[in-house]
Amino acid sequence: MEAGLFTLPNLITLGRLFAVPAAVWLMLQHRLDIAFMVFVGAGISDAIDGWLARVRNARSALGALLDPIADKALLVSVYVTLAAIGVLPDWLAILVVFRDLLIVGGVIFLWVLGVPARIKPLMISKANTFAQIALAALALLLAGFGLSAPLLLEAAIWLVAVTTFASGAAYVRQAARLTGDGRP
Residue 2 has pLDDT above 60, yes or no: no
State the Cα–Cα distance between residues 61 and 39, nearest whole angstrom. 25
Q: What is the percent of the chain with per-residue pLDDT over 70, rounded to a whole number?
A: 96
Domain that holds residue 72: 8-179
Q: Which of 12-16, 28-32, 84-88, 173-177 has the lowest mean pLDDT?
A: 173-177
pLDDT in tens, 27-38: 999 999 999 999
State the Cα–Cα distance between residues 37 and 144, nearest whole angstrom. 10
Residue 131 sits in a domain whose CATH number is 1.20.120.1760
Answer whether residue 2 is part of any domain.
no
pLDDT in tens, 157-180: 999 999 999 999 999 998 888 887
Q: Calculate mean pLDDT across residues 115-140.
A: 91
Answer whether residue 131 is part of any domain.
yes
DSSP 72-88: HHHHHHHHHHHHHTTSS
State the Cα–Cα distance between residues 157 and 81, nearest whole angstrom. 15
Residue whose C-alpha is closest to residue 11's, from 72, 77, 55, 60:
60
Mean pLDDT over each residue of the chain, to the nearest integer: 91
Answer whether residue 53 is part of any domain.
yes
Is residue 39 packed enough to be buried (19+ CB in 10 Å), middle (13-18) or exposed (0-12)?
buried
Residue 6 has pLDDT above 90, yes or no: no
Answer whether residue 164 is part of any domain.
yes
Q: What is the pTM of this model?
A: 0.90
Answer whether residue 90 is part of any domain.
yes
CB atoms within 10 A of CB 129: 17
Answer whether residue 3 is part of any domain.
no
Domain count, the chain: 1
Answer whether residue 54 is part of any domain.
yes
Answer whether residue 96 is part of any domain.
yes
